[in-house]
Chain A
Amino acid sequence: MSDLSQAAPARPGAAILQRFSMRDAGTLIGLLVILAVFGALVPGFFAERNLINILQQSSINACLALGMTLVIISGGIDLSVGPTAALSAVISASMLVAGVPFPLAIAAGFVIGLLCGLVNGVLVAYVGLQPFIVTLGTLSTYRALALIYTGGNPVLGLPVSFRAIFNGSLFGLPLAVIIVACVAVIAWIVLKKTPFGEYLLAVGGNEEAAYIAGVPIARTKIAAYMISGLLAALAAQILIGRLGAAEPVLGNLWELDAIAAAAIGGASLMGGKGSIVGTILGAVILGAMRNGLTLMNVQSFYQLLATGLIILAAMLIDRVTRGRG
């Protein structure tokens, strides 16, 4: 490797810029191929209404996956996003049903998300437990809290006016999509343009070196988990707005879709690497596939199979195109 470094092509910047966005370009090509295949197989797939549908169906997963991407870049993982969303949902919903004003109820849901993330982050960063185990533990804990709080029953009868907030649309796009798009832009800026983004990449890329260089390791990690919790809470609000009810079992297996979207988008579970653009594309790939297969009346067993294969294929292509060393 050191041998290569001396004589490499000397076009500064351009080469790297190309290589960095190359990965995203690859994900985009993957998406275009999948769209083309379904476009050919399913009549009406490209109808404006259906395309908007795909975006809407992808929005919740994209929202979670954005937080997941930041956590993964920091070298961690957050398995507890689904139960975090459920806990946030049932608490917001029961406040709404009790007549608490929307902003307060929504804010309470966000606070729950932040708290869940804070617990994860503190256990990882200060206690030094492994992220996988910590969030596996809180996955059960948060779910149990949601079930205990509701006695296992759904919270029904959310005010129509609350539902209108998240079911509205702007410029012909569902509000949920617009909200998540804004979150994505913010996440992109955070990762590319702020010290916190650099810290995330450094902590995940080489924690020891980041420490010696004075990076606030614990704060960076905790912030990543709190953002993940907050975005899970946001996803919860979008969902209960759409459904008009909050179930304590909502968000089951959400973490897996979120991880899949991040991985398809180029995040490395080893940490230190990931792309916001890639993650969004990854979420849309998964959404488009599900949408297309459903329109084709493919049984859910086969949908699951297809999802699994697309993840493996993405990783294989990634491996092959990157080559060795």
Chain B
Amino acid sequence: MPARTFRSRLASLPAEQDPMSPRLQFDGISKDFPGVRALSDVSFSVGAGEIHGLLGENGAGKSTLLRILSGVYRPSAGRVLIDGVPVTLNNPVAARADGVAMIHQELQQVPRLSVAQNMFLGHPLTRGGLFVARREQERQAASALAALDASIDPAAPLGSLKVAQRQIVEIARALLDRARIVAMDEPTSSLTPSEFERLAKVIKGLARDGVAVVYVSHKLDEVFGICRRATIMRDGAVIDSVELAGVSEHAVVSMMVGRELAQEQHRSHATRDVRLGVRGLSSPKVRDISFDLHRGEVLGIAGLVGSGRTELLRLLAGADRASSGTVEIDGKAVRLSSPRAAIAAGIGLVPEERKREGIVPLRPITSNMALASMGVFARHGVIDHARLRRVAGEKMKRVNLRPFLLDRPIRLFSGGNQQKAIIGRWLAAGTRILLFDEPTRGIDVGAKAEIYHLIEELAAEGHCVIVVSSELPEVIRLADRVLVMREGAIAAELDRASLSEQAIAAHAIPQSQGLGGRAGVQGTGA
């Protein structure tokens, strides 16, 4: 049934296309910014019905290329061809008219408007050019959505939908626009495995109907799962376009990074001294959590999104207040009444949403780093800038900030380097217990390995670390011990010997499967 809706849309496409030419072709695209060459001579093509992976580290030029495709930037040289015809993508509206739909990592939607209103945002259906034809919009929205996820109500406010559903809405909007090319930038960075499965089905459906899909993701397993071919970029140039069936993930990573990445094994530095003792910690989202954290230990916390992992970290970081329970550090009870109090007690949070909760975008690296320890740098109420710079230099060297520009606003750095600066913030504050919430979300492979290293080094120096992550390989790579959370409580504790993706998944999934409200689904993910 879904296929029919797609096909009927496609039938109305202009038929002037040359069947031999690829649907989308980049031909020698270069892009210069003042003083920087962001893209140099990028050429590759994507056929109709192909899902094409676009891989590369942050800064490789993927986003610039997508911005050219979606009409935000104009190329300095080269052409974009759609169905063999060169197109001028002067602005986002023109790109849309040429059949290019862009699905952003951070969805560009208006939460208060309805699903249908969002789908027609910018070009509403009208009656006589004056009044918005709300009913008609909702009808068309419903028919586009029916093929993808019939449970979405076009009249519901978009803000009431889950991220995964909002993504589906964006794709439905692309269908309404009769997109011939859909570019997706990190579409799954905040989806659970089962939501990804669903999205993957939708993407494959698009491809079956002749849409060319450009799929950007940092998650290699996903790219290998749904793409047949992929183009790998580095430093603004194409390294190679490969058939994924013929290469290993490791080989692809090496191409992205430009060097061999050692595949490292877990090393434990855990001691037996209890540093943090949590007893019966509860809040509206978290139930009766008790555990010990030892000096030098990396404790993993796994569980589905919504299982209370992030909420637990926020309680420990003083960002939210617990309704009952106690926390002891080195045997002494502490009150975590605010982040300030938690920091004074030696606890620091590296938050999940870096942009929203981590960085102050306009401020330089030094200020972002020193934010939690200003008091330390002040003498008689005035900041000792010489000392601040020296410490910032040390810490940023330690975390390997690149480029090493301490005075540059943090927003101009890649996600990985922003993350390094936030870690540096806690190093500067002398924090002994570090809480990481999704430490490598939106961070490229190279920086990811560095952050793993850093976490291990910190543990080796006697810091305590808690890592919350949705990526099971990450948890398994880092953790000495894993707590699996389910519905706000600890469902299981796994030590290294019993640690596996299967074991985590088995404990993470609620037995009664009542959560999604979708009957007949069993054993999501796993």
Chain A residues packing against B (C-beta within 8 Å): 1-10, 12-13, 15-17, 189, 193-195, 198-199, 201-202, 205-206, 208-216, 272-273
B329 to chain A, nearest CB (A): 16
Residue with the highest number of chain A CB atoms closer than 10 Å, among B39, B340, B343, B362: B362
Other-chain residue from A189, A198, A209, A214 in contact with B343 (beta carbon distance below 8 A): A214
* Residues of chain B with a CB closer than 8 A to A193's CB: 382-383, 385
Assess whether A6 is in contact with B414, with CB atoms less than 8 Å apart: yes
| B372 lies within 8 A of chain A by Cβ | yes
10 closest cross-chain pairs (CB), A and B: A195-B374, A6-B59, A205-B360, A213-B371, A16-B407, A214-B343, A214-B340, A3-B64, A3-B38, A213-B372
Q: Which residue of A lies closest to B314 (CB)?
A: A212
What CA separation (Å) do A194 and B413 show in the bound complex? Answer: 25
Assess whether B407 is in contact with A17, with CB atoms less than 8 Å apart: yes
* Residues of chain B with a CB closer than 8 A to A206's CB: 356, 359-361
Q: Which residue of A lies closest to B358 (CB)?
A: A209
Contact stretch, chosen from B4-12, B18-26, B398-406: B398-406
Assess whether A201 is in contact with B317, with CB atoms less than 8 Å apart: no
* Residues of chain A with a CB closer than 8 A to B338's CB: 214
Can you report 30 A-B residue pairs in the complex whose CB atoms are below 8 A from each other?
Answer: A1-B63, A1-B412, A2-B59, A3-B38, A3-B63, A3-B236, A4-B36, A5-B413, A6-B402, A6-B403, A6-B414, A7-B38, A8-B412, A12-B406, A194-B381, A194-B383, A195-B374, A195-B381, A198-B371, A198-B374, A198-B383, A206-B359, A208-B356, A208-B357, A209-B356, A209-B360, A210-B371, A212-B357, A212-B358, A213-B372
* Residues of chain B with a CB closer than 8 A to A4's CB: 33, 36, 38, 412
Q: Interface digits, B321-360 against A, CB 8 Å rule (1 contact, 0 not)?
A: 0000000000000000011101110000101000011111
Q: Interface digits, B368-379 against A, CB 8 Å rule (1 contact, 0 not)?
A: 001110110110
Q: Which residue of B lies closest to A271 (CB)?
A: B362
Other-chain residue from A8, A17, A199, A272 in contact with B403 (beta carbon distance below 8 A): A8
Extra inter-chain contacts (19) besides given A3-B236, A6-B59, A212-B319, CB under 8 Å: A1-B412, A4-B36, A4-B38, A7-B37, A9-B35, A12-B404, A195-B383, A202-B360, A205-B360, A206-B359, A208-B357, A209-B356, A209-B360, A211-B357, A213-B371, A214-B344, A214-B371, A214-B372, A272-B362
Assess whether B412 is in contact with A5, with CB atoms less than 8 Å apart: yes
* Residues of chain B with a CB closer than 8 A to A209's CB: 351, 356-360, 371
Q: Which residue of A lies closest to B425 (CB)?
A: A213
| B187 lies within 8 A of chain A by Cβ | no
Other-chain residue from A5, A13, A195, A216 in contact with B340 (beta carbon distance below 8 A): A216
B490 to chain A, nearest CB (A): 24
| B415 lies within 8 A of chain A by Cβ | yes
Residue with the highest number of chain A CB atoms closer than 10 Å, among B383, B404, B425: B383
Chain B residues packing against A (C-beta within 8 Å): 33, 35-39, 58-61, 63-64, 235-236, 317, 319, 338-340, 342-344, 349, 351, 356-364, 367, 370-372, 374-375, 377-378, 381-383, 385, 402-409, 411-415, 417, 425, 429
Assess whether B362 is in contact with A212, with CB atoms less than 8 Å apart: no
A128 to chain B, nearest CB (A): 16
Q: Which residue of B lies closest to A206 (CB)?
A: B360
Assess whether B414 is in contact with A205, with CB atoms less than 8 Å apart: no
What CA separation (Å) do A12 and B364 show in the bound complex? Answer: 12
* Residues of chain B with a CB closer than 8 A to A6's CB: 59, 235, 402-403, 414
Assess whether B339 is in contact with A213, with CB atoms less than 8 Å apart: yes
Q: Which residue of A lies closest to B61 (CB)?
A: A3
* Residues of chain B with a CB closer than 8 A to A189's CB: 382
Assess whether B361 is in contact with A8, with CB atoms less than 8 Å apart: no
Other-chain residue from A2, A212, A213, A216 in contact with B415 (beta carbon distance below 8 A): A2
What CA separation (Å) do A310 and B359 show in the bound complex? Answer: 34
Q: Which residue of B lies closest to A11 (CB)?
A: B405
Assess whether A212 is in contact with B405, with CB atoms less than 8 Å apart: no
Q: Which residue of A lies closest to B359 (CB)?
A: A209
B319 to chain A, nearest CB (A): 6
Q: Which residue of B lies closest to A324 (CB)?
A: B72
* Residues of chain B with a CB closer than 8 A to A5's CB: 59, 403, 412-414, 417
What CA separation (Å) do A215 and B317 show in the bound complex? Answer: 13
What CA separation (Å) do A215 and B33 show in the bound complex? Answer: 36
Assess whether B375 is in contact with A195, with CB atoms less than 8 Å apart: yes
Other-chain residue from B339, B363, B403 in contact with A212 (beta carbon distance below 8 A): B339
* Residues of chain B with a CB closer than 8 A to A199's CB: 374
What CA separation (Å) do A58 and B81 show in the bound complex? Answer: 59
A12 and B405 in contact, given A208-B356, A209-B356 (Cβ under 8 angstroms): yes
Other-chain residue from B370, B371, B378 in contact with A194 (beta carbon distance below 8 A): B378
Residue with the highest number of chain B CB atoms closer than 10 Å, among A5, A208, A211, A215: A5
Assess whether B357 is in contact with A273, with CB atoms less than 8 Å apart: no
Assess whether A2 is in contact with B414, with CB atoms less than 8 Å apart: yes
* Residues of chain A with a CB closer than 8 A to B64's CB: 3
Residue with the highest number of chain B CB atoms closer than 10 Å, among A195, A209, A215: A209
Other-chain residue from A9, A10, A212 in contact with B317 (beta carbon distance below 8 A): A212
* Residues of chain B with a CB closer than 8 A to A210's CB: 360, 371
A271 to chain B, nearest CB (A): 10
* Residues of chain B with a CB closer than 8 A to A195's CB: 374-375, 377-378, 381, 383
What CA separation (Å) do A193 and B370 show in the bound complex? Answer: 13
* Residues of chain B with a CB closer than 8 A to A10's CB: 403, 405
What CA separation (Å) do A157 and B367 show in the bound complex? Answer: 51
* Residues of chain B with a CB closer than 8 A to A194's CB: 378, 381-383
Q: Which residue of A lies closest to B409 (CB)?
A: A16
What CA separation (Å) do A212 and B347 show in the bound complex? Answer: 11
What CA separation (Å) do A84 and B417 show in the bound complex? Answer: 46
What CA separation (Å) do A210 and B404 show in the bound complex? Answer: 23
Assess whether A272 is in contact with B63, with CB atoms less than 8 Å apart: no
Q: Which residue of A lies closest to B364 (CB)?
A: A16
Q: Which residue of B lies closest to A12 (CB)?
A: B405
B6 to chain A, nearest CB (A): 34
